Structure 1
Amino acid sequence: MQSTEVLIIGAGPTGLTLACSLAAHNVPVRVIDGASGPAATSRANILHARGVEVLDRMGALNGLHEQALAPLGMAMHVQGRPLATMRFAPVDGESVQALFVSQASVESGLRRRLSELGTEVEWGTRLTDLEQDGDGLTAGFASGTRLRAAWAVGCDGAHSTVRGRTGIEFPGVPVVEQFLLADVRARWDRDRSTSAGWFHRDGILLAIPMRGIGEKTREGGDLWRLMADIPAPAADERLDERQIIDRFEQIIPARAGDGGVKIRGAEWTSVFRIHRRLAADYRRGRVLLAGDAAHIHSPIGGQGMNTGIGDAENLGWKLALVTAGRAGIGLLDTYTAERRPLATEVLAGTTANTKILVGERAVTRVVRDRLFVPLLNLPAVQRNATRTASQLWVTYRKGPLGASSRGRGPHAGDRVPDLDCRRADGTRTRLHAELGCAWALLLPPAVTDPGALLAAAREYLGGHVTVLRPHEPAAEGVVMLVRPDGHLGWQGPPAAPHLTRWLTRVLGCGQAQV
């Protein structure tokens, strides 16, 4: 029977990001997926700033900028009248912003990086069984083969086999009964410099110009993503591609007031109910969940891929330390403690926004049309909406590894901005360029000899520690240890015993049971 240290089930953005993180930490990993090969359809079509930042740290961003579009604005219409244009402003003080790029392109970049790290996805390998015991777990596949692993991570989506076999509850509620989605080729005499949304008494219609494979710009193209809610289906109703296109040819004139649109064909269609669901826990024994296997919510706002990638990066460095024997099992419980509250917040936000935009009740439509949509013209509202979507605000300050100290930040658990730094040899770099699989020890000018601090960090964390000197230190005389995911782990005086005490406490984590 073959064996590995970590088995990842699911080769979407979440599973691939986790696999890249573990492989970069030299953890033996296998990645399986029941599909016969990579998906060619776009599916998610926006990577928000935090996702861009993570892929950059992973070394998986090369080429994505050339395949992507800059963030679009969205022209909002109520009963056919343009009322507001929501612009996606750059986040103040940040060097990254969202990219309109297909999930297929994101996955391709991650697979390329994973291959560089010596690991390939095993396609056509469907998980059928997963059993835990005192020493690890055994996975069974449809082919009849079996595999031993120390850990398994379910990144296998909303209908997760891993979650089902593990017995983790996945409670939730429906948000919208039926939504249509289609990427279509259409002859449409419409400005492609912005997306558009129409709010009608019958429901919402969204149209997003997209760039096809090989196309240099969206201007002059004919590829559009269409989304619309429709009444709940009959119990036995199943819409095929032709029926979905026919529905959109009816919806566009009714909701957008434009009867001149001709849809020539579809590249991808989908019919789905929007649910809000959240796993009761992200770990049971030696099995963990990430991405859509742990949480699902409305696609409006494009938070799904971003949140899953964030899960993977948070889990990656922790699982790497545990598998190397440098941290106790309890460190993995901080994964749920840090990421599940964020998912709760994201689910609440996407649900509220979806209900407002869809406007199923008359009073909701009045609030939407007369208050919510006009407010989107305000620059302050646009800046806040862009930052909220970016997830650059994420903090773990209230988690078990954080510190809710008063005063000016950053505090333990906060994301550290991409600081301008110098390496030990004096060459310039950026903080986030040195992370990914490494910790960063940020030293103030007063510390001329970092030997004792570096030795203490490497004794506990291994060789994945780099020394940097920020161009503008956060506080005079304070040393900072930044986690591989860009969050502040520890800060304190330049004395090795202080750092050692923190590392002992965090990596011990109570030695919780498997």
Structure 2
Amino acid sequence: MNSSYDTDVLIVGAGPTGLTLAASLAQRGISATLVDRQAAGANTSRAGVVNARSLEVLERVDVARRLVKEGIQAARFNIRDRARTLTAVDFSTLPTDYPYSLLVPQSITERLLLDRLTELGGSVVRPVSLTTIEQDADGVTATFDDGRVIRARYAVGADGIHSTVREQAGIGFQGGAYDESFALADVHLTGDVSPDEVNLYWATAGLTVIAPLPDGSYRVVAPVEDAPENPSAPFVQQILDDRGPGGLTVIDVVWGSRFRVHHRVADTFRAGRLLLAGDAAHVHSPAGGQGMNLGIQDAVALSEALAGVLAGGPDSLLDDYSAARRPIARDVVAMTDRLTRLATLPRAARPLRNALIRVMGRIPKANRALAWRLSGIVYR
């Protein structure tokens, strides 16, 4: 890098995607500047699953082993109708060193990624918001709300669904949103609930997911017509009574929120020297727990492409990144869309859906195929 650049790569957005990319580049000895508009990292659980493929790629930055120490290894994903199991997706026989879903809050994932970045000499510039970004034949120039200007060879938008980088690059973001909202709450429970399995309940009243977290709480996610902004204990209790296995009591709500789900994919992940990764490039339903995982995998793939170009390789390596990752994003969006539409079928169609799921659960090939997809190793 010569004196006309402040950094080789400017990364906008310090969520899991941006942190993974910054750490991956730092490990390769590449100068990168990571900025974020928030004053501090995530302090809530949000995404709660790291899948096998993400753990495989995070080995390259020495973060996988740290995550495993702090998470719950869930080798089974059960789809149930009340107490009856319709199908059980078994990860334990997958050809990977991580034959499970790792249940760990996003806040811990971000902390461990930041710890690793710091070890490698990196940091996050906070809080600064990108106002404009322009590119020319030699690099990009980014201006921020505090007046600073950063000149870089390349810039990456890891700045989420409302990405400023994507918008200023003029990249389309096709898709839409689902009608129903989702309630999310981390709660303390009593009753017969598994401490090391994820359970998806497809009841006539609607869907709910219950997943254990390392602090002893449980993640509850449910689509509802109009979710409250802050789900209360009585609200979550009613969901569990209507949709869960029965016999569960909500003691308290640790944290909760609501969200609406979009399904969109950027028209390209590259426009010249501007690149996209994570939610800036694709967003989809949380069904299957793929969102954060797909972004982490984007970041490692993009770090390899950028390293190749900065080492003198062909510029086409960045086109290859877009060409490889965008079809995967489209495939994941299609899969999660099918799962979400199944989950939000009209009440009259739900008993038939459950019967069909029970039949599918008896087909080993179908079970294995779902395990490969949910684990992400199908995208190696």
Normalising by structure 2, what TM-score? 0.91
AA aligned opposite 2:308? L
- Aligned pair partner of 2:256 in 261, 269, 280: 269
Partner residue, 2:341: 355
CA distance in 2, matches of 1:366, 1:260: 23
Displacement of 1:353? 1.5
| Structure 1 residue matching 2:45: 3-state secondary structure | coil
> Residues 115-514 of structure 1: matches in 2 within 5 Å?
115-212=118-215, 221=216, 223-231=217-225, 233=226, 239-241=228-230, 243-256=231-244, 258=246, 261-266=249-254, 268-324=255-311, 326-360=312-346, 362-363=348-349, 365-376=350-361, 378-394=363-379, 415=380
Task: Tell me if structure 1 keeps the 8 A contact 2:91–2:375.
Answer: no
Displacement of 1:91? 4.2
| Structure 1 residue matching 2:377: 3-state secondary structure | coil
Partner residue, 1:217: none
AA aligned opposite 1:84? L
Displacement of 1:356? 1.4
Structure 1 residues 369 and 45, CA, compared in 2 at 3 Å: closer, same or farther? same
- Aligned pair partner of 2:14 in 8, 11, 16: 11
Matched, 1:77 2:80: yes
Structure 1 residues 47 and 130, CA, compared in 2 at 3 Å: closer, same or farther? same
Q: What is the root-mean-square deviation of aligned Cα atoms in Å?
A: 2.2
Structure 1 residues 310 and 260, CA, compared in 2 at 3 Å: closer, same or farther? closer
1:26-45 per-position Cα deviation (integer Å, ceiling 9, x unaligned): 21110011111121212111
Displacement of 1:360? 3.1
Task: Tell me if structure 2 keeps the 8 A contact 1:186–1:263.
Answer: yes
> Could you tell which deviates more after superposition, 290-299 or 310-319?
310-319
Displacement of 1:275? 1.4
CA distance in 2, matches of 1:162, 1:330: 21
Structure 1 residues 130 and 246, CA, compared in 2 at 3 Å: closer, same or farther? farther
Displacement of 1:189? 4.7
> Residues 87-98 of structure 1: matches in 2 within 5 Å?
87-97=89-99, 98=101
1:133-161 per-position Cα deviation (integer Å, ceiling 9, x unaligned): 33322111121211111111001111212
CA distance in 2, matches of 1:68, 1:190: 18
Partner residue, 2:116: 113
| Unpaired runs of at least 5, structure 1 | 213-220, 395-414, 416-514
CA distance in 2, matches of 1:113, 1:195: 29
Task: Tell me if structure 1 keeps the 8 A contact 2:285–2:340.
Answer: yes
Higher strand share: 2
Normalising by structure 1, what TM-score? 0.69
Q: Tell me how many residue pairs correspond in the alignment.
A: 376
CA distance in 1, matches of 2:363, 2:232: 36
CA distance in 2, matches of 1:380, 1:142: 54
CA distance in 2, matches of 1:255, 1:7: 46
AA aligned opposite 2:332? V
Task: Tell me if structure 1 keeps the 8 A contact 2:79–2:86.
Answer: yes
Displacement of 1:75? 4.2
CA distance in 2, matches of 1:109, 1:226: 24
| Structure 2 residue matching 1:57: 3-state secondary structure | helix
Task: Tell me if structure 2 keeps the 8 A contact 1:176–1:275.
Answer: no
Displacement of 1:349? 0.8
| Structure 1 residue matching 2:65: 3-state secondary structure | coil
| Structure 1 residue matching 2:143: 3-state secondary structure | strand
| Unpaired runs of at least 5, structure 2 | none
Structure 1 residues 105 and 30, CA, compared in 2 at 3 Å: closer, same or farther? same
Q: Percent identity among equivalent residues?
A: 38
AA aligned opposite 1:60? V
